[in-house]
Amino acid sequence: MKKILLFSSLILLLLFSTSCQKQPTYLQPHITDLACDTETNCPEGLECWNLDGTSSCVDPDPCKWYCGGADNCQVLESFPPQIQCPTGL
């Protein structure tokens, strides 16, 4: 009986903790307040990118919106990846 009670308590704790995960708040269009790194993943539907020296969970495909829609933005190989916009933007 004690095992069943302990198991049930663990299940409830897991369900409660996953439902209480922080929801992203958008600080500016496409960029959330959630930080990310090699140990902290972004929620589903967001990606980890380094924009201006800050690693954040952002909307996918930042070349389309971060560099003003520039087709020739550069993605620097790092983790998280960084974007370099063409000069003059």
User: For the chain, which residues make up each domain, given as ranges?
Assistant: 23-84
- Length in residues, the chain: 89
Q: What per-residue confidence (pLDDT) applies to 16?
A: 45
DSSP strand pairing (74-76 vs 47-51): unpaired
Run of H or E residues at 9: helix 2-19
Cα 38 to Cα 51: distance, rounded to the nearest angstrom:
16
Note down pLDDT in tens along the chain; length 89 residues.
666 554 455 555 444 444 445 678 887 889 999 999 999 999 999 999 998 888 999 999 888 888 877 667 888 999 999 988 877 54
Cα 29 to Cα 20: distance, rounded to the nearest angstrom:
24
Does pTM top 0.75 for this prediction?
no
Block residue for tokens 């974007």: 83
